Amino acid sequence: MIEYNRFTLDNGLTVLVHEDTATPMAVVNVLYDVGARDEHPNKTGFAHLFEHLMFGGSINIADYDEPLQRAGGDNNAYTTNDLTNYYCQLPAQNIETAFWLESDRMLSLAFSEKSLSVQRKVVCEEFREHYINKPYGDVWKQMRQLAYTVHPYQWMTIGKELSHVENAHIDDVKHFFFKHYRPVNAILVVAGNVRTEDIKQLAEKWFGPIPMGDKYIRCLPQEPVQDLARRLTIEAAVPLDAFVKTWHMDARLNKGYYTADLITEILGGGASSRLYQSLVKEQKLFSNLDCYHFGSLDAGLLTIEGKLVKGVDINKAEQAIAEQIAQIQEQPVSIAELTKVKNKTESVIAFEDMSIMSRASSLAMYELMGDASLMNTELEKYQEINPQDIVDYSKQIFRESNSNTLHYLAK
């Protein structure tokens, strides 16, 4: 049971405090309710660009890292299609340094042409290195565009096109910042050797004066039910043929999400999973094979992907996967196998909650989804799922008409 206190500043900033006197450290985690899904279709990659810009200095502080390191801290950030998360860890006695730094960049970044130019080059180089020049680098660019017709999940966090970041104008950047990176659109979580009363004072002192901003009301186009299978074949200079197939699945808080999570474990959760045992180990069709989903907040994708053993026909490999899917649709999973994947899920959740960094991040994430207390009831959702649920949901999502298939062939 993860305990926490919650309060809200007058400017709308939600603050959660998790007290843990067993550690000398503290974590300050700032989650902004903005991700790649909130970008304009002709100006993508901005949320990820901001992850870089936020470390490029603010109006008052030229370098974010240097004062934090002097206080014994370290920091990082990540951007997804759903959210942007910044976090730092430092000795609890130096926590005010983190408040100073985080509040200053929330107040206003240093919007200079120089800073934008530097970070734009960094992001463009990352785009070229990982998504254009790297073998298989465009797999998910292709798959997202195949699987989504209207929802903004159709592009990756790095952006839809390199030109969008290349052409990012300082005015576009300022508009994006003041629309999304405001107290009313943020969640501050402080965890570690702290007292809630002290954090209230620090939050009021450092974040209280920042203008509220306008609450961002998300109104995204919802992806219609897919009723026709989509397929794409690409030839590229890669060493091995690759197979990627996706199916649309439920959003994060639906029962179907938890069922899908267990299905991915049964099919592809490590060396004892069905796909690995049958298609990698026994039939030797794939050199590696994974089944997973993206954990996205809106309706997402369940994925099976792998590289084929050289010389194996990709249609034969696809048929072997179809047979495994038919099996999970027709034969209820045994209680023993279902218990095994539930136990594994439980241990993953428990392991994640061991560090205060993960606890802070999880509290912010669940608060974004509606209520941080969901963190303490998540496991019950998994325990409620029975073998018939697995069969029923497998039949629902693994319809061929709900699928998107990519054959990525070596030239």
Ordered by start, the domain boundaries in the chain are 5-206, 230-410
SS3 55: coil
Parallel, antiparallel or unpaired: strands 14-19 and 186-192: parallel
Q: Which helix (H) or strand (E) covers residue 189, if one does?
A: strand 186-192
Confidence at 316, pLDDT banded by 50, 70, 90: very high
pLDDT of 114? 86
Residue 248: closest CA among 151, 354, 381 = 151
For residue 335, the tally of other CB atoms under 10 A from its CB is 10
Give the CATH class of 230-410.
Answer: alpha beta
Contact 184, 13 (CB under 8 A): yes
- Cα 335 from Cα 28, distance rounded (Å): 42
Res 5: pLDDT: 98
* Mean pLDDT along residues 144-152: 98
pLDDT score of 356 more than 90: yes
What does the longest C-alpha to C-alpha distance in the chain come to? 66
pLDDT of residue 374: 94
Give the model's pLDDT for residue 108: 82
C-alpha radius of gyration, the chain, whole number: 23
Cβ-based neighbour number of residue 202 at 10 Å:
21
Share of the chain above pLDDT 90, in %: 91
Range name among 23-32, 213-222, 284-293, 348-357 with the lowest pLDDT average: 348-357
Residue 60: its pLDDT value, please? 85
The closest alpha carbon to 361, from 24, 31, 8, belongs to 31
Res 391: pLDDT: 98
Task: Identify the CA nearest to 286 among candidates 268, 301, 302.
Answer: 268
**pLDDT score of 55:** 81
| Per-residue model confidence (pLDDT) at position 292 | 98
pLDDT of residue 115: 85
pLDDT of residue 62: 82
List, for residues 163-187, the tens digit of each pLDDT value.
999 999 999 989 999 999 999 999 9
Phi, psi of 89 (to 5 degrees): -130, 135
> What is d(CA 164, CA 158) in angstroms, rounded to the nearest whole number?
10
pLDDT at 150 over 80: yes
CATH 3.30.830.10 assigned to 5-206: yes
Whether 21 has a pLDDT exceeding 90, the answer reads yes
Q: Which helix (H) or strand (E) holds 87?
A: strand 84-91
In whole angstroms, what is the distance from residue 105 CA to residue 211 CA?
13
DSSP state of 216: P
Give me the chain's average pLDDT, please. 96
DSSP 218-286: --PPPPPPP-S-EEEEEEES-SS-EEEEEEE---TTSHHHHHHHHHHHHHHSSTTSHHIIIIIIIS--E
Q: Of 63-67, 207-211, 226-230, 368-372, which gets the smallest average pLDDT? A: 63-67
Q: What are the pLDDT digits (tens) for 62-115?
A: 888 999 999 999 999 999 999 999 999 999 999 999 999 999 999 988 778 888
Asked if 399 contacts 248 with a C-beta cutoff of 8 angstroms, the reply is no
Predicted local confidence at residue 404, as pLDDT: 98
User: Residue 51: its pLDDT value, please?
Assistant: 87
3-state secondary structure of 18: strand
Please report the pLDDT score of residue 201 as a whole number. 98
pLDDT band for 59, please (50, 70, 90 cuts).
Answer: confident
54's tokens: 């936020």
Which of 158-167, 277-286, 349-358 has the weakest average pLDDT? 349-358
Write down the pLDDT at residue 104. Answer: 93
pLDDT of the residue at 54: 85
What pLDDT is attached to residue 335?
Answer: 97
What is the DSSP code (8-state) at residue 15?
E
Strand extents, DSSP E, 313-402 = none
Q: Which phi-psi region, left, alpha or beta, contains residue 341 (left: φ > 0; alpha: ψ -120 to 50)?
A: alpha
